[in-house]
Chains A and B, each alone.
Chain A
Amino acid sequence: MEVTFQDITLAYPHQAPTLAHFTWTVPDGELTALLGPSGSGKTTLLNLLAGLLTPDHGRLLFDQVDVTHQGMGQRNVGMVFQDYALYPHLTVHDNIAFPLKMAHVKRAEREAQIRQFAALVRVTPFLQKYPRELSGGQQQRVALARALIQRPAVLLLDEPLSNLDAELRVTLRQEIRRIQQATGVTTIFVTHNQTDALQIADTITLLHHGQVQQTGTGHQLYHTPANLTVARFIGSPRLTTLPFAALAPALPDSLAARFASSATLVGIRSEALLATPTPIPLLTTQTMRLTAQDFLGRDIVSHLRWHQQDLISTALPPLAPGEYPLGLAAPGCYFFAANGRCLWTGGTDHAES
């Protein structure tokens, strides 16, 4: 089911509007990640979808059907909360059965479906246990089964992985992906964690200040960010920025001249600063001072100093502090306009128009 937010405005009393003329489409059958920092409006969108909130203005469409004023029960939205909200007084079996029981589905039919979904989320051995007796991951799967068994038009996952430890997180990401693909239900995965979003989603929508900053695949968002916000939010370590004027003298003249009037800021990904010599084509080679290196397992984060600017690289081998000639590669180097718009993305100039 395709979900469309059409020109939606919503304001809480005595506050600036949380959403203003907000338009967004979630493609049918895909797993879309709604990524954004806290306060970006993710929860508001979720509440609008679930029917907890009604917009002041605009329409919400499920496959072109206006559901703006439908109640929670009518919309058939499945939801999994951050802490799963499993009914503590019901066994796993009864938790999964709950939506069917409410809909007065016949017992035999119900049992068949429970078996099917329990198998799908792999909780069959725990059917007779109470939620308290399950681990976080197991509870998560039960919550998924309970949301899926009602065959929801849309499945909403609200930060479903944030209460899990790192290892389980990885496993469950794959599980959610698998289950989503098995059922083909349109799924919106709300998260503030870019790794979760990058790993799991078909499409990612980055939300900031109640506005869609960019929608695309993880690759698109990383390599061709639409604006400074996206470029800064996606990627780790964070994008390093310096004034365009500081870098301009070091750039090839044609490039510097082309953006001299429009660009104000340069963003450099940590992997774009390389040790020389290198086969990769470089924009420039500069002598930089290596001040320190952090060893994070596989990665080495090097702190660099160049013309009163702090830079970071993750592409350097272990080195002693000192001066080194380092190259700046075009991919991973972005120019931004004063309003944040991305003007140049290291050669893949999609945003240049």
Chain B
Amino acid sequence: MLNPKPSLKTTLHALAYLAPLLIITVLFTVWPLLSAVRLSLATRSNFYTGRVTAYGWANFGALWHDPDFHRAVQHTLLFTLGVVPASVLLALGVALLLNRLPHCARFFQTLYFLPFVTSTVAVSLVWGWLFQADHGVVNGLIHTNIDWLNDPHYSLLALILLCLWQSLGFNILLFLAGLNHIDDRYLLVAQLNGATAWQRFWHVTWPLLTPTVILITVNALITNFKVFDQVYALFHGSAGPANADLTLTYYLYQKFYIENQTGLAAASGLVLFGLVLLITGLAGTYFHHWTRWLRKDAR
């Protein structure tokens, strides 16, 4: 009975095993997505009854002309660009150092990981305090007098710093896992092959770490594209001074919960979805290209 030929019976059998996950996926991912598409195309509808009386592209048109939406897209891109590369590089650096630390690595690992498991509300509260203009620690440290949370020029930077700090621990952990995965012997051979410390990193560690780097980058991109809680908590339910921290997800929240603009909210959600899909797709292609060596049928 090894490897029975696929028949209707065996297919149904397989389907039965897959069913729980399939049902969950359809129920909680596919169906809401389709609902969002329907909602975004509804130009005249009653959200509560679900009745749609007119369809069209008006919601997307409105987004196209809404300066707030443009701002949200712009902020999201700026924010992501501010957080992701810095977070990935910092985490890699710290992970490399921790990897060399013989004794207190665990302690530091825990220390770095703490922000990630602390509630965003608590984190934002503490950072709100650190960012205070008059007696804030941040200003004290860098000898400035910046009103971080009330000056539209700096509030996005404040948000970036917070998210950077918060995400660092998790990325460090992933990098450490990735580094552990690299056989020490490759580095040993490289050393015997006459590679300097930098050459060993650049020609051995880095390429072998590529899958981890891509995973972390994509994960960070998606997470940061959807940043919301930190904005909400840091600015007490507003999008920062003069909307300077209005992100895509915050825009969606505002349109949906505050302004009852369900169609616009759904449309902006779809735009967000499209952007994330695009990024994931690009990253996937890149991954495919750079990790040919992982597959047996290379080239």
Contacts and interface: CB of A to CB of B under 8 A. Distances in A.
Q: Do chains A and B touch in the complex (CB under 8 A)?
A: yes
Interface string A58-95: 00000000000000110011110101010111100000
Contacts of A79: 189, 192
Given A81-B185, A85-B188, A88-B208, 13 more contacts: A50-B192, A73-B194, A73-B195, A85-B185, A87-B208, A89-B208, A98-B195, A102-B196, A128-B299, A129-B298, A130-B298, A132-B298, A146-B189
A133 B298 contact: yes
A73 B191 contact: yes
A92 to B, nearest CB: 11
Given A88-B208, A88-B293, A130-B298, A102 B189 contact: no
Contacts of B294: 88
Given A73-B195, A99-B194, A132 B185 contact: no
B193 A89 contact: no
A185 B64 CA distance: 72
Contacts of A129: 298
Contact of B296 (A77, A85, A132, A146): A132
Contacts of B196: 73, 102
A29 to B, nearest CB: 21
Interface in A217-236: none
B192 A98 contact: no
Interface string B184-211: 0110111111111001000110011010
A88 B186 CA distance: 9
A102 B199 contact: yes
Contacts of B195: 73, 98, 102
B91 to A, nearest CB: 21
Nearest to A72: B191
A102 B293 contact: no
Nearest to B211: A89
A133 B295 CA distance: 9
Nearest to B199: A102
Nearest to B191: A72
Interface in B259-299: 292-296, 298-299
A177 to B, nearest CB: 23
A245 interface: no
Given A129-B298, A133-B298, A85 B189 contact: yes
Contacts of B190: 98, 102
A132 B299 CA distance: 12
Interface of A: 50, 52, 72-73, 76-79, 81, 83, 85, 87-90, 98-99, 101-103, 128-133, 146, 150
26 contacts: A50-B188, A50-B192, A52-B188, A72-B192, A73-B191, A73-B195, A78-B192, A85-B183, A85-B185, A85-B186, A85-B188, A85-B189, A87-B208, A88-B208, A88-B293, A89-B207, A98-B193, A98-B203, A102-B194, A102-B199, A102-B203, A128-B299, A129-B298, A130-B298, A132-B293, A150-B193
The 5 closest A-B pairs by CB, nearest first: A99-B193, A85-B185, A89-B207, A102-B195, A89-B293
Contacts of A87: 186, 189, 204, 208
Nearest to B296: A132
A80 to B, nearest CB: 9
Contacts of B193: 98-99, 102, 146, 150
A87 B190 CA distance: 9
Nearest to B298: A130
Contacts of B203: 98, 101-102
B293 A130 contact: yes
A50 B296 CA distance: 32
A60 to B, nearest CB: 16
A98 B200 CA distance: 11
Nearest to A149: B193
Given A98-B203, A132-B298, A103 B194 contact: yes
Contacts of A76: 194
Contacts of A52: 188
Contacts of B192: 50, 72-73, 77-79
Task: Give the interface centre of A52, A90, A130 by most chain B CB atoms within 10 Å.
Answer: A130
Nearest to A156: B192
A90 B294 CA distance: 10
Contacts of B210: 89
Task: Give the interface centre of A76, A98, A101, A150 by most chain B CB atoms within 10 Å.
Answer: A98
Contacts of A81: 185, 189
Nearest to A76: B194
Contacts of A78: 192
Contacts of B298: 129-130, 132-133
Contacts of A77: 192
A135 to B, nearest CB: 13
Contacts of B189: 79, 81, 85, 87, 146
A67 B190 CA distance: 19
A88 B298 CA distance: 12
A90 B292 CA distance: 10
Nearest to B299: A128
B144 to A, nearest CB: 45
